[in-house]
Structures are given as C-alpha cells and as structure tokens.
Amino acid sequence: MELLTQIALASDAVQLALVGAVCWALAIFCLIMDRLREKRRSPERLEQVGFMPWTSLFVALAIIGGGCLAMSLPVVLGSL
C-alpha cells in the first residue's frame, strides 16, 4: 500500500515515466508472443493459431511508451 501512495504522490513526470516503462514491458511481452506464434510447429493447423494482432499491439505500445518516456525524460534527468 505504501508503494501506491508513493506513486500517487510522485510528480507527473515520474508517473508518466512509469506508464512508459509499463507500456514498454507490455510491448516486449507482445514481441515474445509474436515470435512464438511465428515459430509454431504446424502452421497449417489453423485451429491452434487464434487471432491476436501481436505485431500491431507491439508497435502501438512501443510508440506510446517511447512517447511517454521522451516527454518525461527532461524532468526525470533534471531531478537526478
């Protein structure tokens, strides 16, 4: 509970940096899942594939995360 309080009381730039880091972590997860889907054993068996746009999710999360981190960078670096 104390961690949530610290995050809630942090500056807007720190919160934006945390959102950017979470987006990048999710983007890495999407990248891994996309690689696993590409390397499945039998690509002709369509019932195993499912539909999840991992590549689109990766790109969207990477762009959003990069933008959040870029906007928070001057303030976060200035406080170090």
* Residue-level pLDDT at 45: 63
37: in domain:
yes
Residue 9 located in a structural domain = no
In a domain, 5, yes or no: no
pLDDT digits (tens, 9 = 90+) for 10-69: 788 888 888 999 999 999 999 999 888 887 766 666 556 667 898 999 999 999 999 999
Structural domain for 64, as ranges: 18-41+49-80
SS (H, E, C) 8-77: HHCCHHHHHHHHHHHHHHHHHHHHHHHHHHHCCCCCCCHHHCCCCCHHHHHHHHHHHHHHHHHHHHHHHH
> Per the structure, how many domains does the chain have?
1
The pTM score is: 0.78
Q: What would the pLDDT profile of 29-41 be if each residue is shown by its tens digit?
A: 999 998 888 877 6
Is residue 12 assigned to a domain?
A: no
Given a cut of 70, is residue 77 above it in pLDDT?
yes
